[in-house]
C-alpha cells in the first residue's frame, strides 16, 4: 500500500510540478530538412574592429527551442555551425523573470530597467538606444521583425515610453527616430494608428507594403509594412519575409553607409516566443527554423564583407521547454512546455566575425549592448 501511495505521489509530482501548470506535450513530424549555412570562419574571432554589427534576437529562444529546431532539421542548424558561444542572464531591474520590453531595453541601451519599460530607465527617463548613440559617429541603423513595429523588442530600439502597452505613443516616436530602414508588421496596424502619426511617419520614411516595391531602391529612409498575413505565423501563411527582409535591410544599409562607418541592424524572430506562450510546439519549431534562415543570410553577408560582427541571442526563454523524444532522420521531435510564461533560465548567445570572442562566457543582457556600443563608438 505504501508503495502505491509513493507511486501515485510520483505521478502527481511529474504531472504538476510545484508552482507550475499542467505540462503540455507537443510534437512535430516529417519536417523537411532545410540544411544550414556553413560559414568560412575567415573573419571569425579577428581582432580588427567590425565595421557593421547585426544583433539577432530570437524572442523566447532558450537552448531547448534551438535544440528542437536542430533535431527537427536532421541534427543541423546554422546556429550550430558557430564556434563562439556563451550565456546571457536576463533578469530585469525589478523582476527575476523579465518581459520582452525590459530585456529589449537592456539590449538596446545597455541599462536594466523595469518590466514593461520601453527605452526608459527605472525613473521613466529616456535612455539613448544603440541607433541614437552610434548615429553621432556616422553609423546608420535598421530594424527587421516579424512582430508589429510597436512590439516591445523593436520599440526598445527607437521609442521611449513608460509602458509597452502605449502602442499609439510608440508609433508616434517613429518619426523622431534615427532609423534608416525598418521592415515589420503591418499595413493594417499602421493604418489603425492616429492620422497625424501616419502623416508624420510618411514625412520621414518612404512607406511601402511589399519587399518588392521598386520605391525601396531609391529611398533614403524606408519602412516596409506588409499586410498582416505576411508577417504573421508561418503556420498561418507567412513565407520568406524574415530571411528576405534581413538580406534587404543589410543591402539597403550597406549601400547607404559611409565607407569607414558602417551600420547596426537588429533582427528579431518574434513569433518563437508567441508560439511558446501558446504551448504550440510545432509552430515554435517552424518559427525557429525560419529564424535560422535569417541567421544564414546575416552570416553570408558577414563572409562576403569580412568586416561584420553577427551576435545572436534571446531576450528570455519562454514556456520552460524541454525536449522529450525525437527521430532526427525523420524530422520528428517532441517537446514539453511547463509554463505559458517566460522563465528566468539564461539564454544562449552565439557570435561570428571580428570580436566574436568578446561575447563568450556568462554576461547580463545589458552587457551585450555595452559591448556592441564599445565596438561601434570609435
Ligand atoms: Zn513573451
Instruction: Enumerate the domain spans of the chain.
Output: 34-335+355-376
Strand partners of residue 182? 143, 223
27 to 11, 31, 69, 158, 336: CA distances (angstroms): 22, 11, 12, 37, 9
Give CATH for domain 34-335+355-376: 3.40.720.10
Return all residues near 334 (Cβ < 8 A) that are at least 6 apart. Answer: 25, 26, 27, 281, 323, 324, 325, 326
The rounded Å distance from CA 316 to ligand 1 centre is: 8
pLDDT, average across residues 221-235: 97
Residue 121, pLDDT > 70, answer: yes
**Span 92-98, average pLDDT:** 97
Burial of 364 (0-12, 13-18, 19+ CB in 10 A): middle
Q: What pLDDT is attached to residue 18?
A: 44
Q: Is 74 left (phi over 0), alpha (psi -120 to 50) or beta?
A: left
What CA–CA distance (Å, rounded) separates 94 from 125? Answer: 16
Q: How high does pLDDT run on average in the chain?
A: 94
Calpha distance 261→254 (Å, rounded): 10
Dist. CA 99 → ligand 1 center (Å): 6
Average pLDDT over residues 1-23: 49
Nearest C-alpha neighbor of 24 from the set 367, 348, 338, 372: 338
In whole angstroms, give the CA distance from residue 355 to residue 30.
38
Where does residue 119 fall: left (phi above 0), alpha (psi -120 to 50 degrees), or beta otherwise? left
Task: Average the pLDDT over 82-90 and give the result.
Answer: 98
Q: What is the mean pLDDT of residues 225-248?
A: 97
C-alpha 9 to ligand 1 mean position (Å): 32
Ligand 1 geometric centre to CA of 226 (Å): 23
Q: Please say if the pLDDT value at position 8 is more than 50.
A: no
Residue, of 6 and 349, whose pLDDT is higher: 349
What pLDDT, in 10s, does the model give residues 274-287? 999 999 999 999 99
Q: Per-residue pLDDT tens for 35-47?
A: 999 999 999 999 9
**pLDDT at site 9:** 43
Mean pLDDT of 149-171: 98
| pLDDT above 60 (res 11) | no
pLDDT of residue 7: 46
Sheet of 347-352: strand order equals 206-208, 222-224, 181-185, 140-148, 263-269, 52-58, 308-313, 347-352, 84-89, 361-364
Nearest to 73 by CA among 321, 332, 291, 348: 332
CA 165 to chain centre: 19
Residue 228 DSSP one-character state: H
C-alpha dihedral over 224, 229, 230, 233, to 10 degrees? 120
Measuring CA to CA, which residue among 299, 222, 297 is closest to residue 256? 222
Does the pLDDT value for residue 176 go beyond 60?
Answer: yes
- How far does the centroid of ligand 1 lie from the alpha carbon of residue 101, in Å? 9
Please compute the mean of the pLDDT values over residues 334-354 and round it to a whole number.
Answer: 97
Query: How remote is the CA of residue 149 from the centroid of ligand 1, in Å?
Result: 15
Outline where 257-364 has alpha helix (H): 271-277, 281-305
pLDDT interval class at 17 (50, 70, 90): very low
Quick one: average pLDDT of 68-97? 98
Per-residue pLDDT tens over the stretch 286-320? 999 999 999 999 999 999 999 999 999 999 999 99
pLDDT of residue 259: 77
Rounded to an integer, the average pLDDT of 91-113 is 97
Q: How far is the CA of 88 from the centre of ligand 1 (A)?
A: 17
Distance CA 155, CA 16 (A): 36
Q: Which of 275, 281, 336 is nearest to 147 (CA)?
A: 275
For the question of whether the overall pTM of this predicted structure is more than 0.85, the answer is yes
pLDDT of residue 12: 42
Residue 199 has pLDDT above 90, yes or no: yes
Residues with CB under 5 A from ligand 1 (ion): 273
What pLDDT is stored for residue 258 in this prediction?
A: 81
Question: Which residues partner with 141 through β-bridges?
Answer: 264
pLDDT computed for residue 378 by the predictor: 78
pLDDT for 260 = 78
Please tell me the predicted confidence (pLDDT) of residue 190: 98
In angstroms, what is the span from residue 97 Cα to ligand 1's centroid? 11
In angstroms, what is the span from residue 274 Cα to ligand 1's centroid? 6
Percent of the chain at pLDDT > 70 equals 95
CA of 111 to the centre of ligand 1 (A): 20
Count Cβ neighbours within 10 Å for each residue of 74-90 and write b for 16 or more, e otherwise. Answer: bebbbbbbbebbbbbbb
Q: How many CA atoms lie within 13 A of 106 on its CB side?
A: 28
Amino acid at each position: 500500500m505504501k508503495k502505491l501511495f509513493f507511486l501515485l505521489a510520483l505521478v502527481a509530482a511529474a504531472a504538476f510540478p510545484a508552482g507550475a501548470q499542467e505540462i503540455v506535450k507537443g510534437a512535430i513530424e516529417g519536417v523537411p530538412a532545410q540544411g544550414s549555412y556553413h560559414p568560412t570562419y575567415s573573419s571569425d574571432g579577428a581582432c580588427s574592429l567590425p565595421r557593421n554589427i547585426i544583433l539577432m534576437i530570437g524572442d523566447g529562444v532558450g537552448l531547448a527551442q534551438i535544440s528542437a529546431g536542430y533535431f527537427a532539421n536532421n541534427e543541423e542548424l546554422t546556429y550550430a555551425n558557430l564556434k563562439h558561444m556563451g550565456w546571457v542572464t536576463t533578469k530585469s531591474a525589478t523582476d527575476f523573470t523579465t518581459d520582452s520590453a525590459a530585456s529589449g531595453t537592456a539590449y538596446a541601451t545597455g541599462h536594466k530597467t523595469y518590466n514593461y519599460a520601453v527605452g526608459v530607465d527605472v525613473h521613466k527617463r529616456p535612455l539613448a538606444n544603440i541607433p541614437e548613440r552610434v548615429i553621432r559617429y556616422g553609423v546608420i541603423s535598421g530594424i527587421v521583425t516579424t512582430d508589429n513595429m510597436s512590439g516591445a523588442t523593436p520599440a526598445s530600439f527607437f521609442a521611449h515610453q513608460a509602458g509597452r502597452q502605449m502602442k499609439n505613443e510608440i508609433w508616434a516616436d517613429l518619426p523622431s527616430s534615427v532609423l534608416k530602414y525598418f521592415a515589420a508588421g503591418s499595413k493594417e496596424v499602421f493604418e489603425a494608428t492616429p492620422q497625424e502619426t501616419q502623416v508624420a511617419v510618411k514625412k520621414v520614411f518612404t512607406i511601402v507594403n511589399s519587399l518588392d516595391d521598386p520605391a525601396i531602391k531609391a529611398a533614403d529612409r524606408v519602412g516596409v509594412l506588409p499586410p498582416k498575413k505576411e508577417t504573421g505565423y508561418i503556420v498561418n501563411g507567412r513565407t520568406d519575409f524574415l530571411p528576405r527582409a534581413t538580406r534587404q535591410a543589410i543591402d539597403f544599409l550597406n549601400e547607404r553607409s559611409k565607407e569607414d562607418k558602417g551600420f547596426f541592424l537588429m533582427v528579431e524572430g518574434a513569433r518563437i516566443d508567441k508560439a511558446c506562450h501558446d504551448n504550440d510546439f510545432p509552430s515554435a519549431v517552424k518559427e525557429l527554423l525560419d529564424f535560422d534562415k535569417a541567421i544564414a543570410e546575416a552570416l553570408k553577408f558577414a563572409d562576403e564583407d569580412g568586416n561584420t560582427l553577427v551576435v545572436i541571442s534571446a531576450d528570455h526563454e519562454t514556456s520552460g521547454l524541454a525536449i522529450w523524444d525525437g527521430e532526427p532522420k525523420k524530422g520528428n521531435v517532441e517537446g514539453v512546455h511547463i509554463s505559458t510564461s517566460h522563465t528566468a533560465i539564461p539564454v544562449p548567445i552565439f557570435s561570428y566575425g571580428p570580436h566574436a570572442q568578446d561575447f563568450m562566457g556568462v554576461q547580463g543582457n545589458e552587457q551585450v549592448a555595452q559591448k556592441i556600443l564599445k565596438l561601434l563608438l570609435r
